[in-house]
């Protein structure tokens, strides 16, 4: 039985861009595992990054979001998610948006959070470990 894992936006960006082929291959190998979760926040950040930074047209962005939404379990952020993210931000000193990702991962009962941007190896709430798979 596999443990649930959560994928941060930065990992998915590598899956859909070709700027860094080595990181892309690592990201794709992570994304192809079962029991993967993302959140509605990841969907919005991915959309924004593809459009703003990579100049992807809106139809392609929509197609990517459709594909990602069907390939992963999607956690929908709720008011209590935002409230808990405030507590996580205060306790662990992450930005609010990183804390919202962490909270969605915790709420999805994930054991691993794959992220390039957070502290590799840190354990949150004695149950979620942050892993940078791209190092």
pLDDT in tens, 52-107: 999 999 999 999 999 999 999 999 999 999 999 999 999 999 999 999 999 999 99
According to DSSP, residue 39 is labeled E
User: DSSP E strands: which ranges in 52-99?
Assistant: 73-75
Give domain limits for the chain.
5-131
Q: Which residues contact 18 (CB under 8 A, 6 or more apart)?
A: 24
Name the CATH architecture for the domain at 5-131: 3-Layer(aba) Sandwich (3.40)
Element (H, E) at 96: helix 96-107
pLDDT in tens, 105-130: 999 999 999 999 999 999 999 999 99
Give the residue-averaged pLDDT of 31-57: 96
Q: What is the 3-state composition of the chain as percent helix, strand, coil, each rounded to the nearest 5?
A: 55, 15, 35
């Amino acid at each position: 039985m596999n443990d649930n894992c959560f994928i941060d936006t930065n990992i998915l960006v590598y899956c859909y861009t070709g700027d860094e082929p080595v990181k892309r291959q690592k990201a794709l190998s992570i994304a192809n595992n079962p029991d993967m979760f993302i959140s509605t926040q990841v969907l919005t950040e991915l959309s924004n990054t593809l459009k703003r930074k990579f100049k992807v047209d809106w139809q392609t962005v929509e197609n990517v979001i459709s594909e990602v939404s069907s390939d992963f379990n999607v956690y929908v952020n709720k008011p209590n998610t935002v409230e808990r993210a405030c507590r996580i931000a205060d306790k662990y000193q992450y930005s609010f948006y990183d804390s919202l990702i962490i909270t969605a991962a915790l709420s999805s009962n994930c054991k691993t959070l794959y992220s390039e941007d957070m502290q590799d190896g840190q354990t949150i709430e004695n149950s979620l470990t942050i892993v940078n798979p791209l190092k």
